[in-house]
Amino acid sequence: MSNLNPNTKRETFSSGLAVFFATLGSAVGLGNIWKFPYLVGINGGGAFILVYLICVALVGMPVAISEFYIGRRARTNPIQAFEKLKASSFWKIIGYLGVLTSLFVMLFYSSVAGWVYLYTFKAIKGDFTNIASLPIKEAGIFVSNEFNIAVNGTLSPMLWQLIVIAIVSIIIFAGVKKGIEKVTKTLMPVLLVLIILCAIRALTLEGAKEGINFLFSMDFSAITPSVILSALGLAFFKLSIGMGTMMTYASYFTDDNNMPVTSARVALSDTGISMLAGLAIFPVVFTFGLEPGSGRGLLFNTIPLVFSKIPFGNVLLAAFFFLASIAATTAMTSMFAVPVSVLTESLNMKKGKAVLLTGGVIIFIGILTVHPSSLLGNITILSLNFFDLFDYISSNIFMPIGGLLIAIFVGYFVAKDDLINELSNQGKLNMAIYLKLFRLILRYVTPILLIIIFLNSVGLLKL
């Protein structure tokens, strides 16, 4: 297929493996190790995880495959894609909404990524070395104090946020392929090993049984309509879907990539990593008498504790936060790529200018989120502070609306043959039955489920 702009030849990933790792690099990030555990903690454990998994299977994967279809078929950014596919210009709204969503996510994501960078620095400085010698209760108090001081400082969180944004800008400026492929391929497995190590150690702590019970408890009394909406939002957030990120990635996919299988692999690995993070965190919560529902500090309040129980824990703690910083950075890179590709490809802006503009917007507005519980954090809109507001609107409203539009577009406005052809790599993959099933779910299950969850959460529909 030819490009709209003949002067820009679009690069592609070098291999199927590179596609998988890059996509996983976008999916795996703070959503897995920070947001998933803290939402599971707030929403009462296993039952929430089950609702989350249903959302991944019936909404997340069909939307991911649809984004892959649009991205690779059009091989351009999420706005021009609809011109390329000869769709009505109404559908460009998916691209515009995606740009807005990615900006909203980056506003708070950069702030949390900044905390992770700061924790890497603190671990290297040895701020957590004395935990090992503290009695259990005091160790718990020590880490919560450290977190409060870290996030409520005036200049420091802002500075770290700025560093995050600068690094991401440089990676984007240096080019998608070089920047993302190299980093993710080599370092992701190391982070995985460290998370597994944490989980193993955590599972041998006294509170392991309680932690596991919590993770697998099926108490459905906590599952309210708004909890279902947040499980749905988490599925969108974790899989990086509903905002054009996966569409943008897919525009660089190789022609022979098996996209439905890629989506399944990514969803499974992403869920696996989140569960491992849960197994590493909740036993610590119960061993050290912390609160499972303590919120966004959960990761930062537990991980230093589990490493205090491992030989060479300090070095490993620094390595953990360093690698988590990388995961956060690669995930954020994929968000940043959305506005940049639109600005350069649709508005013909120079890459440098587009990067500066995007970075500038996040820096200026993002400052509002670095003080979640102090200074500007006191300002609330709809009883949410800026941090929670950007988080809520992006994950629970914008992404599901984007997902709904994507599902309707691919399910109802793309010719069946065209869809099946692209997803089966022009018939080279023998998966006709699965593709039919996928299209059925996409048409009749995904959109209906999305609408029901929405109406239910705003109280217009009582289940």
CB of 151 to ligand PHE, least distance (A): 18
Q: What is the DSSP string of 36-94?
A: HHHHHHHTTSHHHHHHHHHHIIIIIHHHHHHHHHHHHHH-S-TTHHHHHTT--GGGHHH
CB of 242: closest distance to ligand PHE in angstroms?
Answer: 8
Q: 181 or 212: whose CB is closer to ligand PHE? A: 181
Residue 238 binds ligand PHE (CB under 6 A): yes
Residue type, 451: I
Instruction: Quote the CA–CA distance of 92 and 397 in Å, as a whole number.
Output: 18
299 binds ligand PHE (CB under 6 A): no
How far apart are the C-alpha atoms of 248 and 439, rounded to whole Å?
22
Q: From 461, 395, 399, select the one nearest 39 (Cα to Cα).
A: 395
CB of 432 to ligand PHE, least distance (A): 31
For residue 302, state whether it binds ligand PHE (rule: CB under 6 A).
no
| Residue with smaller CB distance to ligand PHE, 32 or 396 | 32
Q: Is 26 in the site for ligand PHE (CB under 6 A)?
A: yes
Alpha helices in 288-415 (DSSP H): 298-307, 313-345, 351-366, 386-392, 399-412
User: Among the candidate windows 25-33, 44-52, 86-94, 118-126, which touches ligand PHE by CB under 6 A?
Assistant: 25-33
Query: Smallest distance from the beta carbon of 132 to ligand PHE, in angstroms?
Result: 30
Distance of CA 63 to the CA centre of its chain: 15
Phi-psi region of 135 (alpha: psi -120 to 50; beta: other; left: phi over 0): beta
Look at residue 160 and give its three-state secondary structure. Answer: helix
334 binds ligand PHE per the rule CB under 6 A: yes
CA geometry: angle 423, 343, 364, nearest 5 deg? 120
Query: For residues 285 and 306, what is the distance between their CA atoms, to the nearest angstrom?
Result: 10
**At closest approach, how far in Å is the CB of 245 from ligand PHE?**
4
One symbol per residue from 401 to 440: x for binding ligand PHE (CB under 6 A), - otherwise; what is it?
A: ----------------------------------------
Among 40, 105, 107, 118, binds ligand PHE (CB under 6 A): 105
Q: Is 168 in the site for ligand PHE (CB under 6 A)?
A: no
Question: For ligand PHE, which residue of 19, 24, 27, 281 counts as binding (CB under 6 A)?
Answer: 27
Query: Closest CB to ligand PHE among 287 and 334?
Result: 334
Stretch that binds ligand PHE, among 22-30, 71-79, 112-120, 339-347 (CB under 6 A): 22-30
Distance of CA 55 to the CA centre of its chain: 15
Residue 140 vs 403, nearer CB to ligand PHE: 403
Task: Give the binding site for ligand PHE (CB under 6 A).
Answer: 26-27, 29-32, 105, 237-238, 240, 243, 245, 331, 334-335
